Amino acid sequence: MLVGKIHRATVTEADVEYVGSITIDLDLMEPAGFLPLQEVEIWDVTNGARFTTYCLPGERGSGMVRINGAAAHLAQVGDKVIIAAYGMFESGSIGTGSVPVVVPDENNKLEKMLMYKVDPKTLEFRIEGLD
Q: Exactly one of 18, 54, 91, 98 is catalytic; which is it?
A: 54
- For the question of residue 21 being annotated catalytic, the response is yes
Q: Is 62 a catalytic residue?
A: no
Whether 59 and 26 have beta carbons less than 8 Å apart is answered as: yes
In order of 22, 66, 69, 71, the CA distances from 18 in angstroms are 10, 10, 5, 10
The CA distances from residue 21 to 72, 87, 128, in Å, are 9, 18, 30
Q: Catalytic: which of 18, 21, 62, 116?
A: 21
Catalytic residues: 21, 54
